[in-house]
Amino acid sequence: MEENEKRRNVELAYLSLMLSGKKVSECELASEVLKISRAKGEKSLAMLVQSSIKITVKVLSVVLEESSKRYVITFRQIGGDSDETIRSERTDGRRGKDVMQLWGRDLKNHICILFKHNEESKDPSKSGGFRVAPYVIDLGLQKN
């Protein structure tokens, strides 16, 4: 990390603490800097969402697949004519609670903005990787 980026992270952390009304101590500042560094990490949810493709869909079903610890989401893209499926991130991973909060609710027949990206596979036979939906924005039930 470059010196300028380090300074910027400290400035952002200081501003964040000031705006939240928290006391700006060295420990609080260090903790906030670490949060900023994690959020800017390549595998952070924020960075995944930024590099994902956004599509507007009607969710047809969301089912937890016990064998993979992932939700299987069946959807139809708005304006599309065929159903598709995509999997969530793992519910037993480091973002498991967030995954359950996003996908463990009733989204059937809801219009959503679905974020999808290709995740690299460790299996050499799956060189293209696999599609994952790391995030969703619920826009509400479809109006007839």
Distance CA 42, CA 33 (A): 16
pLDDT of residue 73: 97
116 closest CA partner among 95, 103, 133, 129: 133
Across the range 18-32, mean pLDDT stands at 90
- Per-position DSSP letters for 83-122, written without gaps between them: EEEEEEEETTSTTHHHHHHHHSS--TTEEEEEEEEEEPPS
pLDDT band of residue 142 (cuts 50, 70, 90) is: confident
**Top-confidence residue, 111 or 24:** 111
Taking 80 as the threshold, does the pLDDT of residue 127 lie above it? no
pLDDT of residue 109: 95
pTM of the model: 0.78
Query: Partners of 101 in the beta sheet?
Result: none
pLDDT band of residue 124 (cuts 50, 70, 90) is: confident
